[in-house]
Chains A and B, each alone.
Chain A
Amino acid sequence: MAKKHSFRLRFPARRTAGSVRKYTRSRFGNFLFFAFLFLLCAFSVLPLVYSVVTSFKPLDELLRFPPTLLTVRRPTLRNYAALPDLIAGLQIPLSRYLTNSLFVSIAGTVLHVIAATAAAFVLSKIELKHKAGIFLIIQLSLLFNAYTLNIPRYLVYNGMHIIDTYWVYILPAIPSSMGVFLMKQYMDGYIPDALIEAAKIDGANYLRIFSRIIFPNVRPCVLTLALFSFQTIWATIPGGTIFNESLKTLPTVMSTISAGGIARSGSAMAATVILMIPPIVVYLFSQSSVKETMGSAGIKG
């Protein structure tokens, strides 16, 4: 490592445009640098490692105090094996919950991304009255916690007669403000107005401009929105709006398990670990896009 660095140091001026800066640092500096990075990294990763480790602990090790943080003496799959039994009491197969979760997450994500991209397209590229006002409302609505709105939303669901349907998961996810905000900033930063003008002159209507020009060019941002949206819907437990057991999703079930007290804490961790997997998979696909999108959010501040 140090060798590589010192090699680069001889050419401090050879920087490619847009690349990362090289730092000049002594060997001791390098050591400090990595020590510090690893330390902070530990904070970030330890809880994750801890939950994975705990999910493999047998009961007697779970009860030990103080608990071992990173080691498990006799790893067991019992906690995972116990999950189906714990859920069996609910009389609906686990696969049903999983399908529900995947269905609402994917449907909600697709609809949210389309609605947000379309709205951002108008807000960013089309002359329209009250545009600034609408964007201000979007920014203000970022401030509100969904939970505060639970009961008024219940009234809305009730008025729409969609209580106890999949719509309760999907519909409120569509107008999520974060998506439009990020997408608009991205379009402001990366899609030149001249491109739209040129297409207009060539006679393309908005639908054509949107599907042929905008959408293909905002892919990184689309992936980012998809990630955030998927992860939000995936983790949502709708309060008091879903009563039919066969419409419930995975987190609802998992939280009933973790409510089971100390003897079930191993299984609760196992449930947590399982729940972490799908968002991580989505993240792996969209990882490189996320930074680009968040970067554009800061362009105009």
Chain B
Amino acid sequence: MKQRKRPGLETMRARHAFLFLAPWIVGMVLFFLFPIVQAVYFSFARIAIEPGRVETSFIGLDNFDYILFKDTQYIDNFLTSLTDLVISVPFILIVSLILAVLLNNRFHGRLFFRALFFLPVIIASGAVLDLYLGAAAADATEIAVNDSVSFSMIDFSQIFAALNLPTSIENYLTVALDNLFLLVWQSGIQIILFLAGLQSIPDLLYEVSHVEGATKWEEFWFITLPMLGRTMFLVIVFTIVENITASNNVLVSQGYNFFANLDYGRGAAALWLYFLVVGVLIAAVLLLYNKVFLKRWN
């Protein structure tokens, strides 16, 4: 085909295909890839922002040295946000799975309920959420909303104390309950993903297990959960990503503060290190999940 003067059909086709990709690729390079490479470089540099241009000078690992050894908050924030990740991801997974199973039942108004749980995804993002939290904080009601929503009438710490739970579990539950409304708010997309996954499970499996005399409980553990393996994978990734990029993440907001003080190099270093560690963590979790669960379930 290459010997011909005029391009052959396949080459033409490939060129046309590339035309379809072009708008998106150009945008991607301009607004994602180039900025990402630039930001990596910035984390090794000192940045001075002047009107219309940015002066950079390479300073090696100084930014990382600063955030790790001189900054008093970075390590703390790092641990806080990792703890937050470890607490909220399983919680969101469980809540959204339970809700999806419930909403998958047949009852009146189920479409209404589904829409209701997805509503926060629509309204509670970006500036609207910030504005909401800002407005709520302005009249000191954020705490009030949080508390009254997470049952301030019932003192959970006393119940936990009475139950003699290990401290770590008690702490976990306390944090989870404190943030309950934010966590439920963050479950919208996960619920939809699980719902879709549930509906792709063939009815046949349940009918067979029904005939064999399995209980609903057994059906859940031996059919529903294994069949949701792939969906679960997607949901885990999505939830982690949403958590580490959220603007109310402690570490991300510390990074923002660096930016706000025009300390871009340090901010970039702080965030890169975080994304790197979390990236490795995600990879480890997913590998483990693949090895342990998906293998067994398939």
Contacts and interface: CB of A to CB of B under 8 A. Distances in A.
**A interacts with B:** yes
Interface stretch (A83-91, A92-100, A137-145): A137-145
Given A62-B139, A115-B27, A280-B122, A37 B113 contact: yes
Contact of A301 (B196, B216, B231): B231
B203 A17 contact: yes
A67 B139 contact: yes
Contacts of A172: 27, 31
A171 B184 CA distance: 33
B134 interface: yes
Given A47-B132, A175-B27, A232-B126, 10 more contacts: A41-B116, A44-B185, A67-B140, A69-B145, A118-B21, A122-B18, A262-B138, A265-B135, A295-B193, A297-B196
A151 B245 contact: no
Given A44-B185, A48-B123, A174-B23, A298 B200 contact: yes
Q: B-side binding surface: helix, strand, loop or mixed?
A: helix
Contact of A271 (B122, B131, B199, B245): B131
Contacts, number: 310
Interface in B124-152: 124-128, 130-132, 134-136, 138-141, 144-145, 148-149
A227 interface: yes
Interface stretch (B35-43, B59-67, B156-164, B167-175): B35-43
Contacts of A280: 119, 122-123
Given A66-B144, A122-B21, A283-B119, A151 B192 contact: no
Contact of A21 (B25, B47, B104, B230): B104
Contact of A119 (B20, B99, B135, B210): B20
A298 B138 contact: no
Interface residues of B, number: 100
Interface of B: 13-14, 16-18, 20-21, 23-28, 30-36, 38-39, 42, 47, 49, 52-54, 95, 99, 102-108, 113-120, 122-128, 130-132, 134-136, 138-141, 144-145, 148-149, 180-181, 184-185, 189, 192-193, 195-197, 199-200, 203, 206-207, 210, 216, 230-231, 233-234, 241, 244-245, 247, 252, 255-256, 259, 264, 268, 271, 275, 279
Contacts of B128: 235, 251, 272, 275-276, 279
A149 B17 contact: no
Interface string A176-193: 010010000000000000
A155 B53 CA distance: 7
Label chain A's interface by main secondary structure: helix
A63 B196 CA distance: 45
Given A20-B106, A128-B18, A255-B127, A43 B203 contact: no
B32 A149 contact: yes
A153 B31 contact: yes
Given A18-B199, A144-B245, A151 B49 contact: yes
A148 B113 contact: no
Nearest to A34: B107
A115 B130 CA distance: 29
A158 interface: yes
Contacts of B35: 149, 152-153, 155-156
B27 A152 contact: no
Interface string A255-286: 10011011011001101100110011011000
Contact of A40 (B27, B53, B124, B184): B184
